[in-house]
Amino acid sequence: MIVLILTTTLYGLSVRLPAVTADPGQTVPIPLCVERPVNLAGFQCTITFDPLAADVVKVKPGELTDGWMIVSNTSTPGQIRLVAVDPTLKGISGPSGEIAVILMNIKNPGVATDLKLTECKFSDPEAKAISAEPGAGKIISSVTTGTDTPFAVCSLFGLILLAGIVWCAAGWSKSGTCRIAFILMILGLTPSLQALTVSIPTMSDIQSATVQIPINVDNATGVAGYQFLITFDAAVLEATGVQKGTLTADWGTPQQNLSTPGQVRIIGADLGGCSGTTGSLVIITFSVIGNTGQSTALSFSTSKLVDAAGTTLAATAVPGSFAVTDPKGHLTVVLSPDAILTLAQWRVAGGEWKNSGETLDLAPGSYTLDFKDVTGYLRPNSKSIQIVSDQTVSETGEYLLQGDIDSSGEVNIFDAIKAMQIAIGSSVVIAGQTYSEPFPAWIINLADLNTDAVVDISDVIVILNKCVEPVN
């Protein structure tokens, strides 16, 4: 017998299969044993072997699990999928012993095989995992409990990095570069008190809309007059009017010239100056005449600010832009899990079914998002969505595997135990939260595999059978 220890743990189950020698034609019992179980209420595992060496005749409960519900699947040659659960949910604790017995018929002489114990899960009465480390060996493997092997990893990377930084810093300072950079940084952080910025924002709207675009200033102290020539693409925008801005509300009406397509000429003045420091000097009204997708720059060909004495103030002019947007909004829906993407679909307002990741163009408004039924899964609930012009709304829809009560991504022994807890009205813990009767509808729906609106022993049996279905 060869023993292979894959890892060690300070506690948990020791799970083993014995070494068996038998003649061809013999039917031999091969027990699956555990040592010193504590609160063991269910288990699930897969055993693989060479189908040329043996066939499975029968799987039955062991001496420790007499009276348990046990389900096995031996339809795949060379594989046994096994799940068992204590219907009382009391669990077993105590001495070592058999939890299952596999009757195997030995076939060809001289053919040896590894019996590999894999995909093992062990659960207590509250559907909490019990640590176990099954492994594999020649003929039959066993896993024993040992002590953790301490180890330590020491990395000098942090020390090396720190030393490098210190070394570079010392050289940098010595050369005087550090002092120069510091002085430049200080100078760069000292703004001019007279700095002015005149700007036009970046804006967008749909075709045929009327928009108001401001000319803003960020430091209007001392500004008593302005003169602007704004140019733009006449195929995109048409200027229709000019009005006072937030900083010039007390000024007279600005003088304007809109006669040349693609140009706006504006002059305004008041010896009393602006009423604030930051805001708009003037607001230009445009009609959007371009097509969806077109855009134009809004540039300053002339930009001049003066104070009450007529002195020109230094100012930076920052141009803006305008884009004609799509009047429709867009909806993209991503579905999960990946395993059902060929079956799962979504739609809006009873329309055509769409696949995961597709985008649908919609007029602005409120809609209901629906999801297609998929056998074996709970579809996401319908949801209300709001579509806005030229914006993409992204939604998700997660289908839940029926029977996967703990949302692990598969149906296993832990789900069977949780289904039993629900069936008898006991509290159940899901994702760290405890639920009691009356259970939420989504829990009932997950556990009610025969769809009779009740979770009972029938659903437990269905889940147990799902546990041993072959993996696709």
Token pair 């029968």: residue: 58
Q: Residue 7: what pLDDT?
A: 33
CATH code for the domain defined by 14-123: 2.60.40.680
Write out the chain's pLDDT in tens, 472 residues.
333 333 333 346 888 888 888 888 899 999 999 888 898 988 888 899 999 888 999 999 999 999 888 878 888 899 998 888 888 888 899 888 999 999 999 888 888 888 888 888 888 888 788 888 786 544 443 333 333 333 333 234 344 444 444 444 444 444 443 333 333 333 443 333 457 999 999 999 989 999 999 999 998 999 999 999 999 999 999 999 999 999 999 999 999 999 999 999 999 999 889 977 899 999 999 999 999 999 999 999 999 999 999 999 999 999 999 999 988 999 999 999 999 999 999 999 889 999 999 999 999 999 999 999 999 999 999 999 999 988 999 999 999 999 999 989 899 999 999 999 998 888 899 989 999 999 999 999 999 998 889 999 888 989 998 888 776 5
Q: Which is nearest to 97 in space by CA: 119, 56, 65?
A: 65
**DSSP code of residue 115:** B
pLDDT in tens, 130-172: 888 786 544 443 333 333 333 333 234 344 444 444 444 444 4
What is the domain partition of the chain in residue ranges? 14-123, 157-188, 197-325, 329-400, 402-467
pLDDT score, position 89: 80
**DSSP-derived secondary structure for 413-435:** HHHHHHHHHHHTT--EEETTEEE
Q: Residue 82: which H helix or E strand, with range? A: strand 79-85
Residue-level pLDDT at 145:
38
Instruction: Kindly state the tokens that stand for 368.
Output: 């209901």
44, 413 Cβ separation under 8 angstroms: yes
pLDDT number for residue 472: 58
d(CA 120, CA 48): 12
- Are 273 and 203 within 8 A, CB to CB? no
Q: Is the peptide bond before 337 cis (omega within 30 degrees of 0)?
A: yes
Long-range contacts of 265-272 (CB under 8 A, 24+ apart): 265/228, 265/229, 266/215, 266/226, 266/227, 266/228, 266/230, 266/242, 267/225, 267/226, 267/227, 268/225, 268/226, 268/244, 269/224, 269/225, 269/226, 269/306, 270/224, 270/225, 271/224, 271/308, 272/224
Contacts of 384 (CB under 8 A, 6+ apart): 366, 367, 368, 369
Contact 292, 325 (CB under 8 A): yes
User: What are the tokens at 110?
Assistant: 């001289």
- Cβ atoms of 199 and 320 within 8 Å: the answer is yes
Instruction: Give the pair of three-digit tokens for residue 440.
Output: 């939420």
Number of C-beta neighbours around residue 470 at 10 A: 10
User: What is the CATH architecture assignment of 197-325?
Assistant: Sandwich (2.60)
| Cα dihedral across residues 75, 81, 86, 92: positive or negative | positive
Backbone φ and ψ of 444, nearest 5°:
-60, -45
Q: How much is the pLDDT for 136?
A: 59
From 367, 233, 368, select the one nearest 291 (Cα to Cα).
Answer: 233
Residue 367: count of CB within 10 angstroms of its CB: 19
Asked, colleague to colleague, whether 14-123 and 329-400 share their fold, the answer is yes
Task: Just give the CATH number of 402-467.
Answer: 1.10.1330
Q: What is the CATH number of domain 329-400?
A: 2.60.40.1120
Q: What is the pLDDT of residue 65?
A: 92
Contact 467, 460 (CB under 8 A): no
pLDDT of residue 233: 98
H/E run at residue 467: helix 457-467
**Contacts for 162 with CB less than 8 Å, ≥ 6 apart:** none
Residue 278's pLDDT is what? 94
The pLDDT of residue 141: 34
- Decide: residue 165, CB within 10 A, 0-12 exposed, 13-18 middle, 19+ buried: exposed
Residues 6+ apart with CB under 8 A from 426: 89
Q: What is the DSSP string of 269-334?
A: E-TT--SSSSEEEEEEEEEE-SPTT-EEEEEEEEEEEE-TT-PEEP-EEE-EEEEEEPSSEEEEEE
